[in-house]
Chain A
Amino acid sequence: MRGVWRLLSFLAIMLFLAGCGQENLSALDPQGPVADMQFDLLMLSLLVMVFVVLVVVVIFIYVLIKYRERQGDTHIPKQVEGNHRLEIIWTTIPILLLLIIAVPNVVLTFDLADTEPEEDQDVLEVTVTGHQFWWEFEYPEYDIEAGQDLYIPTDTRVVFQLEASDVIHSFWVPALAGKQDTVPGITNEMWLEAEDEGIYQGRCTEFCGESHWLMDFNVIAVDPDTFEAWADSMANPPQELTEPQSEVAAEGRAIYEESCLSCHATAGEGGNPQGGPDLTNFGERSNIAGFLEFNEDNLEEWIRDPQKLKPGNSMPGFDHFDDDEMEALVEYMMGLKVQD
């Protein structure tokens, strides 16, 4: 009977916690093996700790009810010095409880640090660079670069090399894996896997300056074939990207070449190390700048005044474009797509 109760209460906690938070964002709703393991360890430690709290609270309430001063009571309590047996009990039991958590933790800490894939598992390497306040993703095997949207194949071990270009950031995709810091001057490693296709939200968790809270990104998990096709077309982008067909878009391309290409690498052209995200596949972004809803109005607003939307980022505003110019530019940018 006791066991049943324990199981029930455990399930209740799990259900309550699992129901918490938004899908593909919450660490309480894990979507891959790393987040799974971390969730299980978290639940194990939570269970032990809830037990500890309960023991303390039960004794606490009992003592308060039983020994509270009643009216007119003037007796002098017995002055007890202590009790060796009790001291030994409440020293050893916590040690045992801690061992229940400590042992699996040590094992898992080493497992998570080990980026070597299991036998005949597919691996993808990605170099992540944190910038104030955006993310850059490089795929060395494919010689391509992407900004803000991190494409990964499902059921593949993705191994990250984490770097930072300015201050410390921290790379976190709660639904897929715990975080690792990106530290200037140091390269850190971590890995994760996504089980299902989907868009998982990621964010920076190390305070990194004025717009730290907006340093969001998306992880887009697709099946391995789709991923290969995507990587291939990123490496060999369609011609429309550099020579758009429609007249308006061509006009936009001209403005883009003049004002934007120096910072934003696009289809293998332009860009610079102090610049902004690669925009080759901008038309397929899930958000603008990682957090704005993806639509033309927001794009225009962003181009006109990025400092208002994300203060402190290093893109200047282009408020001097007139409406026609802006329309052309936006049209061109919405067409920056590598998939059909």
Chain B
Amino acid sequence: MSNQKSQSKSTLWDWLTTVDHKKVGILYLLGGAFFFVIAGIQAMLMRIQLMFPEASFLPYQSFNEMFTMHGTNMIFLAAMPLLFGFMNYIIPLQIGARDVAFPFLNALGFWFFLLGGIFVNLSFFLGDGPPDAGWTSYVPLASDQYAGSGLDFFVLGLQISGLGTLIGGINFLVTVINMRAPGMSMMRMPLFTWTSFVASMLILFAFPALTVGYLLLMLERLFGANFFIPDMGGNVVIWQHLFWIFGHPEVYILILPSFGIFSEVIATFAKKRLFGYTAMVFATLVIGFLGFMVWAHHMFTVGMGPIANAVFAVATMAIAVPTGIKIFNWLFTLWGGRIKINTANLFALAFIPSFVMGGVTGVMLAVSAANYQMHDTYFVVAHFHYVIVGGVVLALFSAAFYWWPRMFGYKLNEPLGKWFFWLFLIGFHLTFFFQHFLGLMGMPRRVASYLEGQGFSDMNFISSIGAFMMAIGFIFFLVNVFVSIRSGNPGADPWDGRTLEWTIPSPTPEYNFAQTPLTRDLDPLWYEKMHGDGRMKASEPLGDIHMPNATILPFLMAVGLFVSAFGFVYHNHWVAAGGIAFTFACMFVRSIKEDHGYHIHKEEILSDKEVE
């Protein structure tokens, strides 16, 4: 490799200081996978407890901590970072860029996420134990009076990691707006880039609401402010509004990039251009917009009154329309195609019926008057797992199989992949399908157990069996990752791809594109295959490439906040202030120290090309 500086240091140092979007992407995937496994284990513990009525496998308190941390880890620290991993690696490649707009910020965002996430989970070992008020952490249950230091770990850690997410979101926005290669107009961008772009807009507007909420809760818990304490003139419902103004868009922050992944995979393996590309883009924008108009549908039973309930009910139902447009466009992309069935595509195909089921139960929940029967029951648990597992998680696995050769230079094994797929898919439906009925039959969510003789036992048992199948399926995936390493490099374009990420050598060179490509149509690579010689035209002569220098500062800045958070939890204001001061000092160094980056010379690039 050409980076002279990092070559002399160790691999560890290389990863700690990297600002390369590809390495940051891989770091995000590793971090996300770590929390995904933790949250998965927590889910299994819960399903063991719920396998039989009145079980005593977990004490109630532990169960409450488990579902709190399962939700927190899955949403904030697994699903989003895993998507960020793919976004980081793939977006610059899809738009023909050499990196994201702000490589330094990119690394900073990652370290904030990782250390914030670790901080939340350290509550398992420190203080009064993990948070236990649910991932929604409604006050007053999450207030000082009712919850221990776990909630301090929760608000502080999630503020740090939330900052990282916000930084990442802004970075993607600027990258997509500014860094597109010649010819790559907005309406030629691959759908994954489009949906990630819209998701980043949602991050930009939604995360501040969450940050405000957590900040108020933190001030209340640590410094005795009274925003949410009714006796002191506070209002507990404000918290729910702040949380859901973030929380509902959050669902779309997760699902939109997933839609993008499916669009790429389905088009590639149907060997067809995405049907109704323009409609797909507009549907994405409409979903993003409406996503901000419906947060109160999580609060139909709080007592907002019939006017608010009716308005939010209708607004929520409206989202079904653009979502339906998407579903039918995918179906018609498949229509008339030559559909290749492999693991990546199986996950994408299975998504269609699975997600539609989650979507229709969403419309049912939007029926406010009937929602009073479904809200906060297992029906809701079933619904959002159909959406998030049937949408986001299937997308993540599809993306993993699809982009694995691009990212790691080898294909995942197909037979093992199919075992994984079938076990996971069947397990998923077994786990969650019957939960719809449990909810309607009177089983609330977030219950540490259920009494015998209420008719809940059989379905809970089946549900737990399904969960075991999902877990076993996932083990097949982990095995696959290691077994397949020996399978060899399948080359630059293993799937007969359509978009720019398949036009460059594998493994991806540090500078991505030796020459910035010229995009002549939607699906630029496919266009060249059909109308040209199958290779991208260059839009610039071969020349030296300017690269940013690696730096340890992002990591150090995150460490500063991490340390400071301990100071806050343990009421040691010196440590708290010191950590923040350290972070600011790093910012200062970053601001005054000149850093011009370095150049990769033309000759080196040429020699890379020869090897290829």
Contact = CB atoms under 8 A, between A and B. Distances in A.
A53 B360 contact: yes
Interface stretch (B102-110, B113-121, B250-258, B449-457): B449-457
B548 interface: no
B442 A21 contact: yes
Interface string B345-383: 000010011001100110110011111111111000000
Contacts of B132: 210
B328 interface: yes
Contacts of B530: 76, 79
Interface of B: 59-61, 64, 132-134, 138, 140-141, 146, 230-231, 234-237, 270-273, 275-279, 301-303, 305-306, 309-310, 313-314, 317-318, 320-321, 324-325, 327-329, 331-332, 334-341, 349, 352-353, 356-357, 360-361, 363-364, 367-377, 437, 440-442, 444-451, 453-455, 526, 530
Contacts of B321: 91, 94-95, 98
A317 interface: no
A101 B455 CA distance: 30
A210 B133 CA distance: 9
A77 to B, nearest CB: 5
Nearest to B357: A53
B569 to A, nearest CB: 22
Given A105-B313, A172-B444, A183-B236, A67 B370 contact: no
A217 B436 CA distance: 23
Most buried by B among A113, A167, A170: A167
A312 B449 CA distance: 15
B440 A82 contact: no
A192 to B, nearest CB: 11
A229 interface: no
B356 A180 contact: no
Interface of A: 17, 20-22, 25-28, 35, 37-39, 41-42, 45-46, 49-50, 52-53, 56-57, 59-60, 63-64, 67-69, 73, 75-83, 86-87, 90-91, 94-95, 98, 101-102, 105-106, 108-114, 162, 166-168, 170, 172, 174, 177-181, 183-186, 188-189, 201, 203-213, 216, 291, 311-312
Interface secondary structure of B, over-half rule: helix
B376 A69 contact: no
B387 to A, nearest CB: 14
A109 B325 contact: no
Interface secondary structure of A, over-half rule: mixed
Contacts of B140: 166-168, 184
B363 A80 contact: no
Given A91-B321, A167-B141, A208-B141, A60 B273 contact: no
A312 B64 CA distance: 13
Contacts of B276: 81-83, 86-87
Contacts of A64: 334, 339, 349
A45 B572 CA distance: 55
Nearest to B446: A207
B283 to A, nearest CB: 9
A110 B364 contact: no
Contacts of B526: 79
A112 B303 contact: no
Given A25-B455, A52-B360, A82-B275, 11 more contacts: A22-B442, A56-B353, A67-B334, A69-B338, A80-B336, A81-B275, A170-B301, A181-B302, A205-B375, A209-B64, A213-B450
B440 A77 contact: no
Contacts of A68: 339, 341
Given A49-B360, A67-B338, A207 B310 contact: no
A231 B305 CA distance: 32
Contact of A27 (B277, B301, B305, B440): B440
B7 to A, nearest CB: 45
Contact of B64 (A37, A180, A210): A210
A20 B459 CA distance: 11
Contacts of A56: 327, 331, 352-353, 356
A20 B441 contact: yes
Most buried by B among A25, A73, A79: A79
21 contacts: A21-B437, A45-B363, A52-B324, A52-B360, A57-B353, A63-B335, A67-B335, A69-B339, A79-B526, A80-B332, A86-B328, A87-B279, A113-B305, A113-B306, A170-B375, A172-B444, A178-B374, A179-B301, A207-B138, A210-B60, A212-B447
Contacts of B60: 210-211, 213, 311-312
A184 B236 contact: yes
A167 B146 contact: yes
Given A26-B440, A81-B277, A67 B339 contact: yes
Given A105-B313, A212-B448, A181 B301 contact: yes
Contacts of B454: 22, 25, 201
Given A20-B441, A166-B146, A41 B352 contact: no
B376 A206 contact: yes
Nearest to A56: B356
B190 to A, nearest CB: 15
Contacts of A203: 442, 444
Contacts of B437: 17, 20-21, 28
Contacts of B270: 67, 77
Q: Rank and list the top 5 A-B pairs by shortest CB-CB distance, nearest first.
A: A178-B372, A185-B230, A21-B441, A213-B447, A82-B276
Nearest to B361: A49
A311 B61 contact: yes
B458 to A, nearest CB: 11
A213 B67 CA distance: 13
